[in-house]
Structure 1
Amino acid sequence: MKVVKFGGSSLADGAHFQKVISIIKADPARQIVVVSAPGKRFSEDTKVTDLLITYAQRVIDHQDPKTVVDKISQRYQAISDFFGLPARPIDKIIKKLRSLPLEYYPSNTYLMAAFKAHGERLNAMLLTAVLNHLNIPARFVDPFEAGIIVTDDPSDASVLPETYENLAHLKVTEEKLIFPGFFGFTPNGQIATFSRGGSDITGAIVSRGLKADLYENFTDVDAIYAADPRIVDHPHAIKKMTYREMRELSYAGFSVFHDEAIIPAIEGQVPINVKNTNHPELPGTLIVPEDSFEPHRTITGVASSDRFAALYLHRYLLNKEVCFTLKLLQILYKYDVSYEHMPSGIDDLTIIFDKNQLDNETIHEMCHDIKNTLHPDQLDWIDDYAIIMVVGEGMRSKVGTIENIIRPLAENNIGVHMINQGASRISIMLGTKQADAKKAVKQIYQQFFTCQTDTHERSTTHAD
């Protein structure tokens, strides 16, 4: 049995629906389908989710939402008309859409979550109706019915363990089961959405709960690539990689998944196949457990992100002071700030942060407290910071990888501010200036994928 997830770009209009239906029909094992809300049909278009956010905001502000409701209705109506559906299914969908303001919501944040979730909910209802109209037996499965229970966080929910027990009791027959992605229900029966990669998360949850043989994630790219195609021209397509390679690369900017989105599938040891809706015949990228994986290259991919900042702290005999790091962490706790990495020496320490959680006021006050509490000889905030992740299961058994990474950077005058290799030995993290990040990715990619510096890579270039 396969769980198949389709993103918003794959379900933008009737023509895209037709491609999705062809994919579902092509493999009888594709029994479970998870859908996103309709995405953009063209570059200037608006996603249905964004229209729903506008709808919710107008309701909250006590403004007339008719114009935006009509736009949303037209999106679903156009898909219905494409397949010549009878009036009843689309009338039911539009009635549900128009009745949203009449429901009870504990707060405006719950209202916003429920409105947003209906992009997926109504699209799943519509796909179910289309499939049945085409004589493909299908059943809409609401997350409430399936028992997808999440934490009481309306826009940042996490799945609760009882979800998997509930899904284990879901009856799977020959009919296609159509799930809306992106949301679940709190123990109090309110809709709550996942924060990022919502439909991907639902697909992973359902895959684990139903013990799927494969989780196919259809998107608009042919594969996951060894480097960002916006940085490297025509990068190598990764045919197979491990869960932890995917997680490491997602952390540094790979955009196919948010790194947290696939955790339920990882926990359930369900292989994931990333494929292109527009080219479903291509193999895509298979993401598998580490146990039986045999790497064919030293590195699998290289990624960069400039969303980071760093705090550099210098103080003589820092390593001799008891509880120095504890005092520092207590200050971070006071401001509800988490850190990403903390490389250190005997007299200095650098703390790397994700800038998305910080604003200028927090930075100023936090640095002030650190200065007054720890009395450093030097304290510098470094806003110009990027992280490069070089990742590959093959690095574990390869000597000299760090040298091959650093040498082309030095030859091209790219300074490295930090080097950190994880305990798993499958990733090396570099800190650089933001302006150097893309150049660094290009040089590292060229070293390992174009120059083919070692015999092992030359002998296996065509094998992976």
Structure 2
Amino acid sequence: MLKVAKFGGSSMADAGQYQKIRDIIRSDPSRRVVVVSAAGKRSAGDNKITDLLYLCYAHLQYGVSCDGIYQMIRERYGDIHRELGLRVDLEGVLDRLRSQMEQGISRDELVSRGEYLSALLMADYLGFTFVDAAQWLFFHYDGTIDQEKSYAALRALARDKCVVIPGFYGLMPDGKLRTLTRGGSDITGALAAAALDADVYENWTDVSGILMADPRIVDHPRSIERATYSELRQLSYSGAQVLHEMTIFPVREKNIPLNIRNTNEPDHPGTLITESFVEAPNPERFVTGIAGKCDFSIVTVSKKGLSGAVGTLRAILEVFENNSIPVAHTPSGIDCISLAMPTEALTPNQYSLLDELRSEIRPDSIQINDHIAVIAVVGRKMAFRVGTSGKIFAALGKAGINIRMISQGPDEQAIILGVDNKDYADAIRVLYNAFVK
């Protein structure tokens, strides 16, 4: 059994969090590979180390002293080093980094040092081997990851060892460091799990799994016990604050279970995500989660005979493509089709879109409705649950919330509906109460 455990910034914030991680690692000998982020915020008014490093780089570019900011970084890691009684030469590493900054360090290398320092300290604390991400995570020149080369390198470096790896960066073919997108440590962890054919990839953060609804709207929403990768994708696409699709792709590709856990509540099982389940954990609660986003627009194109006209739908979609407007949903009627998209994507190109639609499609009418919120009720096999749509309509109708759009695909996974922006929060609460409480 091998578990790859990735710990986020909140889990790495101070010496107390390091101690929690040590206890988690010691509680399960199969946790032999640890991936870490840079130190995150200790409190609401605190700074993330990565943000401070970006600030340092900006100051250097404009010839402004960054001594005060760099001193904050020194103190953060220095406090952890001192409180845990570590032996690694932190001051030497920090002095060399400061010298590199004066000589013209690249932005990617500078901002990657938060993860590098975290991993050095954690490896010392756990008594594990430090494996630099630059030793195994390799990019192609186009910025994509060379999986074959990277996987082979990590297998050689981590074989029969307990290791700590910094997330967020890797090595370009020319020997320069390159960072992943923000949140890239999650990607590093997933790649490490895939490379080593781990039995489980654990992603440790500051919440006990994925929540069934936005806690800013619903008071104390339940955690999702189990979900499929497809459901996670749908929730993420619909607005839930969950792991990005790129983050989970390497483990999904190898069908490695993903377990999202809470460093501050290590006994909580969190959310387990796999490709499929034999059955729902609770047949009576088949809704996995409810998520949504505001500020959509719906463009409705009407034309007599539209449903029987060959190629018209393709032509309409091509017009949107020509105007660089992504289409999120396409509910349709007999002689009309509606296309939903973020308003911010429509607004800059709205007039050119309308001109091209009128020229290419010659519609009877085009109607645009703004200020729409799109909500997804996500679950398993909802198409075979009698009365699900009726329950949605009844609950929202009783609350006086008008449904502006509804769509359900054949994948049995989500019912998508649109409401006015002003009704968004109330709709989330009503649906949560109807399906979860």
Do the aligned residues in 2 keep the contact of 1:90 with 1:126 (CA within 8 Å)? no
Other-structure match for 2:263:
277
Other-structure match for 1:455:
none
Other-structure match for 1:301:
289
Tell me the matched-pair count.
Answer: 434
Do the aligned residues in 2 keep the contact of 1:304 with 1:438 (CA within 8 Å)? no
Runs of 4+ in 1 over 4 A off after TM superposition: none
Q: CA deviation at 1:165?
A: 4.0
Do the aligned residues in 2 keep the contact of 1:200 with 1:217 (CA within 8 Å)? yes
Other-structure match for 1:366:
353
Structure 2 residue runs without a partner (length 5+):
none
Q: Is 2:402 the partner of 1:420?
A: no
Q: CA deviation at 1:3?
A: 0.4
C-alpha distance in 2, partners of 1:140/1:302? 41
Indicate how the Cα distance of structure 1 residues 370 and 294 shifts in structure 2: closer, same or farther if over 3 A, else same: same
Do the aligned residues in 1 keep the contact of 2:119 with 2:165 (CA within 8 Å)? yes
Letter in 1 for 2:16: A
Cα offsets for 1:133-157 (capped at 9, x unmatched): xxx2x1222222113435634xxxx
Moved more, 111-120 or 264-273: 111-120
Equivalent residue for 1:212, pick from 198, 201, 226: 198
Q: Is 2:318 the partner of 1:330?
A: yes
Letter in 2 for 1:121: Y
Cα offsets for 1:215-255 (capped at 9, x unmatched): 11111112322222222222222222222222211222221
Moved more, 295-304 or 330-339: 330-339
Q: CA deviation at 1:175?
A: 3.9
Q: Give the TM-score, by structure 2 length.
A: 0.90
CA RMSD of aligned residues (A): 2.5
Do the aligned residues in 2 keep the contact of 1:80 with 1:90 (CA within 8 Å)? no
What pairs with 1:57-96 in structure 2 (closer than 5 Å)?
Answer: 57-86=58-87, 88-96=89-97
Indicate how the Cα distance of structure 1 residues 360 and 143 shifts in structure 2: closer, same or farther if over 3 A, else same: same
Do the aligned residues in 2 keep the contact of 1:302 with 1:390 (CA within 8 Å)? yes
Do the aligned residues in 1 keep the contact of 2:136 with 2:170 (CA within 8 Å)? no
C-alpha distance in 2, partners of 1:310/1:443? 23
Other-structure match for 1:454:
none
Q: CA deviation at 1:63?
A: 2.9
Other-structure match for 2:171:
185
Other-structure match for 1:344:
332
* SS of equivalent residue, structure 1 residue 300: strand
Equivalent residue for 1:223, pick from 191, 209, 230: 209
Q: CA deviation at 1:196?
A: 4.7
Q: Once the two structures are aligned, what percentage of the paired residues are identical?
A: 34
Q: CA deviation at 1:321?
A: 4.2
Other-structure match for 2:135:
145
Do the aligned residues in 2 keep the contact of 1:266 with 1:289 (CA within 8 Å)? yes
* SS of equivalent residue, structure 2 residue 81: helix
C-alpha distance in 2, partners of 1:273/1:168? 22
Equivalent residue for 1:247, pick from 215, 233, 250: 233
Q: CA deviation at 1:359?
A: 7.2
C-alpha distance in 1, partners of 2:292/2:154? 39
Letter in 2 for 1:21: R
Structure 1 residue runs without a partner (length 5+):
105-110, 451-464
Moved more, 40-49 or 140-149: 140-149
Cα offsets for 1:374-417 (capped at 9, x unmatched): 34343344331221111111525422211112211122221222
Letter in 1 for 2:320: L
Q: CA deviation at 1:257?
A: 1.8
Letter in 2 for 1:6: F
* SS of equivalent residue, structure 2 residue 188: helix
Cα offsets for 1:294-336 (capped at 9, x unmatched): 4422212211222533323233333344433333333333343
Q: Is 2:312 the partner of 1:311?
A: no
Q: CA deviation at 1:98?
A: 4.5
Q: Give the TM-score, by structure 1 length.
A: 0.85
Equivalent residue for 2:427, pick from 440, 448, 453: 440
